[in-house]
Amino acid sequence: YATNTKCHLKRHLPTHSKSKDFKCDTCDFVTNTQYNLTKHSLMHNASKHVKCNICDYVTNTKNNLKKHFLKHNRSNDFKCDVCDYATNTMQKLRQHFAIHNVSDIFKCGICDYSTNIKRTLKRHILSHRAYKFFKCDLCDYATNTKCHLKRHLPTHSKSKDFKCDTCDFVTNTQYNLTKHSLMHNASKHVKCNICDYVTNTKNNLKKHFLKHNRSNDFKCDVCDYATNTMQKLRQHFAIHNVSDIFKCGICDYSTNIKRTLKRHILSHRAYKFFKCDLCDYATNTKC
């Protein structure tokens, strides 16, 4: 006897012992290992059956019954694409598929591929996404769906069935007519109830309202005034006296806007204008 583990070797060694200390309580069987006795006892337990209270499963050990119960506790993640059947194992799902008639076929609308599993068809259709199989015979247009091709074809029609109710404009697509109609809406103005803004579409008005809802990020450096547009901030600056001047401490530059002065001062950072008369030390600030 040979093995690759110490554990198995230890279990084997007692088989060579002449002493048979392990006796069966039911019959006259004796052995020199606990392992052999346990194995023998299973013969006597055959009549002691434990049954599953969910299905017809029967076993002679509680351990096997516990393992069996786990199958009932699993969620039914494997679902049939043809009917409402669901199970907890792929094996059972495959067995179930056999009950469906082979006439239950799902066909690909792009090529000749067919399958009786809906999920498989969906996976197959994704493979067509990169290719444009449906091509227009009248131009270079190509698409990967029949629907898009049908929508495109009317653009080549000589018949112009879409007429404008306001003028003599006619076109062969609803899309072009809708685009044209926007020109006539110029006279239908919608006005902002907060400011003087006027537009001819509700969509533009909605976008405009967003400006009023934004926080007042543009702040005056002279007073506490704040607004949501730079244009309004510039108009506000006009009310301030020109005597409110901010001067640069390095050069002769001056401005009436504090933020502009800060930006200007940064331009001096690279230069060291203030030099010590006693040594070579130089800096860009008086302080």
Q: How confident is the model over 218-237, as pLDDT tens digits?
A: 777 777 788 777 677 777 77
Query: Two tokens at 174?
Result: 């609803």
Number of domains observed in the structure of the chain: 3
Look at residue 29 and tell me whether its pLDDT is greater than 80: yes
In a domain, 175, yes or no: yes
In a domain, 187, yes or no: no
- Tell me 286's DSSP state: -
Query: Two tokens at 270?
Result: 């690279």
Whole-prediction pTM: 0.19
Query: Two tokens at 1?
Result: 């006897």
In a domain, 232, yes or no: no
Provide the domain limits for residue 163: 134-182
Q: How many CB atoms lie within 10 A of CB 160?
A: 13
In a domain, 106, yes or no: no
Region 20-34 average pLDDT? 78
Q: Where are the alpha helices (DSSP H) in the chain?
A: 6-12, 34-44, 62-73, 90-97, 118-126, 146-152, 174-184, 202-213, 230-237, 258-266
pLDDT band for 217, please (50, 70, 90 cuts).
low
Query: Two tokens at 104?
Result: 């239950």
In a domain, 59, yes or no: no
Region 101-111 average pLDDT? 68
Residue 18: predicted pLDDT: 62
CATH code, 160: 3.30.160
In a domain, 142, yes or no: yes
pLDDT band for 273, please (50, 70, 90 cuts).
low
Look at residue 159 and tell me whether its pLDDT is greater than 70: no
In a domain, 265, yes or no: yes
